[in-house]
């Protein structure tokens, strides 16, 4: 009995069978915080793709601490508050959702913005950003493709 079960699992692994299953897309704008810092500075993210969804991460630029994640559906925008600090923005794109561990599966593309976003308090106002995550003429946000390990 144990040998048969082991053999079936072994055959599934060898055949490339995936135990992951496509999941329902999260609601647009779902945010998860991985810090206890108060989120007060505005961040708006706009997408225009009709079929690519986005999983965005804010990562502390000093110590690489994962601060928060945001899910953005294709052709939507979100407005969220983020904690004060300096962050890298990394994002993954794809069209089929497999959860936070596998993201968009094997077809996930990973990127990192070549800019440090500095959210701070200036003259009693919080500084923030609007980011448009789509290609455009005269765009000023450069991104680079990164590996899953770098994400």
The region that residue 16 occupies, defined by phi over 0 for left and psi between -120 and 50 for alpha, beta otherwise, is left
| Region of poorest pLDDT, from 34-43, 49-58, 61-70 | 49-58
| pLDDT, tens digit, 9 for 90 and up, residues 109-118 | 999 999 999 9
Tokens 């925008």 -> residue: 77
Provide the whole-model pTM. 0.83
The three-class DSSP label of residue 89 is: strand
Q: Which domain holds residue 45?
A: 20-146
Q: How many domains does the chain have?
A: 1
CATH of the domain at 105: 2.60.40
- Structural domain includes residue 79: yes
């Amino acid at each position: 009995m144990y040998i048969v079960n082991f053999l079936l699992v072994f055959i599934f692994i060898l055949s490339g069978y995936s135990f992951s299953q496509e999941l329902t897309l999260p609601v647009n704008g779902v945010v998860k915080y991985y810090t206890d810092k108060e989120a007060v500075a505005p961040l708006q993210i706009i997408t225009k793709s009709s079929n690519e969804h986005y999983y965005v991460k804010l990562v502390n630029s000093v110590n690489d601490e994962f601060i928060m994640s945001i899910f953005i559906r294709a052709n939507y925008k979100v407005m969220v508050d983020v904690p004060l600090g300096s962050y890298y923005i990394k994002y993954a794109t794809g069209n089929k959702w497999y959860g936070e561990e596998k993201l968009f599966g094997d077809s996930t593309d990973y990127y990192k913005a070549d800019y440090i976003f500095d959210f701070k308090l200036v003259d009693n106002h919080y500084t923030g950003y609007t980011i448009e995550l789509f290609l455009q003429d005269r765009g000023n946000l450069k991104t680079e493709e990164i590996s899953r390990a770098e994400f």
